[in-house]
Structure 1
């Protein structure tokens, strides 16, 4: 499990910018978008012409529900944003950057929801007024809600929460008044495909499919949700028990959210870890990473590796390569936001062999199976963009992304993942 690009971009622009007005362009897809390819739906039965039974409708406007409507709206808005001076970023197609002298503005677009932020109130008002000349735009003031995420201003930063979304999932599951759990998964939470088949697989898929988006502000759930989603095609009783435990944990922590602490030192730091051969059925390893911008956690992942690793060093090095790739993407995105990172990214790993291989230029038998990852990481190390250092297991924050932990260890790592109550 890992957050999609738009919430990551939201975290970044909140961290690197000042006031944040929020815009919502009402029914712009319905009224403001003209399609390049005209939609041709069939006629309603009452309007069929007997002389032309094969005739179809030619619509003048894009309508909700048509497959090409969102793409046509995005193209329409992006073209106008470029006319205003915005440049789309290569790292995230929904993020636009405008720079005028010393002033800078960021625009994040998701369908008809827009977040606009910048360094100058005058620049923001000018952009808003020019958008209103072209679209039906409503200014909602300071950013408080976006993509189902509540945004709360607190000391030295922001807190992102999905309390309403979590309560909606609990209500759908009928677990609003359930007994809370202290952890989302136990320390032996490695599930196999054995066990009796559950009766209602559809409900399981519906609830499990709703949980990945909750990890946008709850990184501590990533590993447990990943385990539950791995078995959506054929859920068993043990998988249902895990799903219920996750929901019980969510019940006791609905008020918690992700704390984004601002920092003048924009350094990118990563922690990578792997659980070697952890899957009891396939013996594939689980890799995970956490990436921080300054003191704020901005990206994380818990994912089963696509192939079997023949050694723990190989599994750990694949995790390092995944973390390095994410860090490179974040550095590129920050560069496009005109907040370039000059210092090398430090990736912490608790495996000595993986740390040694990142700096060793000599190939040997232990590395031939991961030769591409070896070259990828080592090239970045030689360029000075990346450093791979050892970290003790007790300080490995990514441990929570790869395995179940005891209550004490989980709560300690959860605070390190910037997850705090919303009343901080």
Structure 2
């Protein structure tokens, strides 16, 4: 029986849900009071929400409820009558938009104001006379405040202001009325606070006390212009207690109203737009720029921008006229729908007419897009779009400027602490070739690379070249260049030579104001030094002993380099002068993580130690690891590179990688080194910028970087007349990597590393490199990829030609 009754009387909720959706969609404010409209709307909405959330899992219920709260508020505001448009726009322009309860409270207040205004209009019509807001110009005794009222708050002591529009600012008036005799007809436009214009039909005297009163029949109440009152020798004084207006006869009238106090206050600075939409295309900012004083080749004179509030991605469309804005927006909306499978929820614009056309507004309503508009003459409320226009114009002007070969740039040097950022003045060569978004923020200075310096020092030691050091006495970091500077010799400066006599090599490398000269021909070296001293204010420092923090020691067997002074300063900074030295820099099997351990109360010491990782939020384990490294540096402060004499110029390289060794990102560590015969001239230990799917892939990327370094060094040696005729061996211990390069079949099966495959394979086929296999035990680059036991660390250190030398400083 119960089963039968359930079968007969059971109804599906889908029909009721569809009915409620239809009722809510058709429901309008109409003639209802705000309280009745609010209650009826909530009743319908609550029943609808109960139906649609019946079968929703508990885990997703909170998210759906949050969405429904926002939708309920927006639906409630969009169905209001037209006279509430000002309040609705004000609510929607706030950040964040208030809740439904707050909106309801402000709408109740607005309803009371509108009701009071209607009563006053009715009383004015019945009395047949105009109530003048204020007697200006000091003619006759002042009126008592009981004859005054405020249209904003219904009190009897304040007025609403009206500002003259451009072209009518010199008119002598103080009062605007809605019912005054009009002997003099005029046609003067005035601008209201909402941006619309108000025609003034006539000027006349209301009585012997009130003269030059303007007639505006559309007004619901009388207005006063404080500015014109002051121009007519009336003193208007505002204070915390209200407003006092005093005429020439020193008779005064006191006005007190909170609304007037706020309305007559000075405008505060608009706050910065710090909040962001939670998803892309939830909020789009838009603005139109133009007209341009010069039309483009395609006759464009305007452009419109659409800026996504969440990502700040910007779309720019060029226009021939403002009337194309609506058509452009429809194209942009279709583009968003097709490419991103979503729609725009809110459009924020200024109060210009191209966004307010009936066609535009009907289209937005049909798509369910909320239109937020800034108040008239307040571009600050559309600040996101306004700032973007300014940025675009700055970029255009920069691009349009004639290119120069030399640019002074002041890059910001970030400081981890809360101190101010520092700026350094650098000379940037051919900065006009840099591309915004790619390498625009990078700075390039005419200075030698450290690897180039080590290569030339190794060549000087191998060939027993003298090394002279000079210093520029005056370096001008400030000032304007008046001379024409060429980064390359202009055509025709040097005549082409059909033949030349080889005299020798002279190398001059510069690092800011430090200069080192070396070469094979002592006569040419002397001539070059003499020419430099005659041309510039120089200081001869003699034989090279200290350069860029490197101590240079000369001996019959070669040149050795170390950084004893820098190491000592680093140990002193860490406060470890008396600490016991250790034999390895890293402890075995210790995995450092970004969020493992307690945060340091004061991270300043950790940041001073110039550690490359975990600078943002260093922890105690990170500091302990850094201290261990410094203890190792303390015990090896006099150890450095050695460049022997009589060395050959044959290059050799080693590359390796520690797969997925980073505990936080699973990225691999690349390690490689390059030798000039037995002299170490370049090395690298760096975390890879992408995750490798296998150890083969990670080591192949390491090989690719090492190959690029080999190509650079071969080019440098060729410029110095030490050309490499034989291919450079790149030693690797992964047989799969070697087969990928040498075997076309393997090459075709590794599409995910296709670019690196092409790069290394091209160098291999051009006989730039060879790929000899080396056992893991003899792989020197292993020392750059991970922590090693003591015996293996010492073995590989010796293969790097690291020697101890007594410190000279």
TM norm structure 2: 0.41
SS at match of 1:283: coil
In structure 2, the residue matched to 1:65 is none
Q: CA deviation at 1:363?
A: 4.8
**Secondary structure of the corresponding residue to residue 270 of structure 1:** strand
Task: Tell me the SS of whatever aligns to 2:745.
Answer: coil
Unaligned runs of 5+ residues in structure 2 are 1-446, 495-499
Alignment map for 1:10-409 (pairs within 5 Å): 10-17=453-460, 18-29=465-476, 35-36=480-481, 101-193=502-594, 194-207=596-609, 209=610, 228-363=611-746, 367-409=750-792
SS in 2 for 1:229: coil
Aligned pair in 2 of structure 1 residues 184, 122: CA closer, same or farther (>3 Å)? same
Residues 249, 366 of structure 1: alpha-carbon distance in 2 compared, 3 angstrom cutoff: farther
Contiguous gaps of at least 5 residues in structure 1? 39-71, 86-98, 210-227
Structure 1 runs of 4+ aligned residues shifted over 4 Å read 363-366
CA contact (8 A) 2:707 2:760 kept: yes
Residues 653, 730 of structure 2: 8 Å contact kept: yes
Distance 1:186 1:378, change over 3 A: same
CA-based RMSD of the aligned residues comes to 2.6
Q: Give the whole-Å Cα distance in 1 for the aligned partners of 2:501 and 2:560.
A: 30
* SS class of match (1:178): coil
Residue 449 of structure 2 aligns to a residue in which SS? Answer: helix
**Change over 3 Å in CA distance of 1:364–1:115 after alignment to 2:** closer
Tell me by how many angstroms 1:195 deviates: 1.4
Call closer, same or farther: CA 1:267–1:289 in 2, change over 3 Å: same
Contact 1:8 1:299 in 2 (8 A): yes
Deviations 1:14-72 (A, max 9, x none): 22231111111112337xx963279xxxxxxxxxxxxxxxxxxxxxxxxxxxxxxxxx9
Q: 160-169 or 190-199, which moves further after superposition?
A: 190-199
Q: 2 CA distance for matches of 1:202 and 1:169? A: 14
Q: Distance in 2 between matches of 1:231 and 1:419?
A: 29
Say yes or no: does 1:419 pair with 2:807: no
What is the SS of the residue equivalent to 1:390? coil
CA distance in 2, matches of 1:276, 1:155: 43
- With over 3 angstroms needed to count, the CA separation of the structure-2 counterparts of 1:144 and 1:329, relative to structure 1, is same
Listed one character per residue, the Cα deviations across residues 276-316 of structure 1 (whole Å, up to 9, x for unaligned) are 11111111111110110111000000011111111111111
Distance 1:190 1:301 in 2: 21
Query: Structure 1 residues 176, 369: closer, same or farther in 2, change over 3 A?
Result: same
| Counterpart Cα distance in 2 of 1:326 and 1:313 | 20
Equivalent residues, number = 350
Displacement of 1:202: 2.0
Residues 262 and 296 in structure 1, CA contact (< 8 A), matched pair in contact too = no
- Calculate the TM-score normalised by the size of structure 1: 0.77
Contact 2:740 2:747 in 1 (8 A): no
* Cα gap change, 1:191 to 1:100, in 2 (>3 Å): farther
d(CA) in 1 for partners of 2:636, 2:674: 23
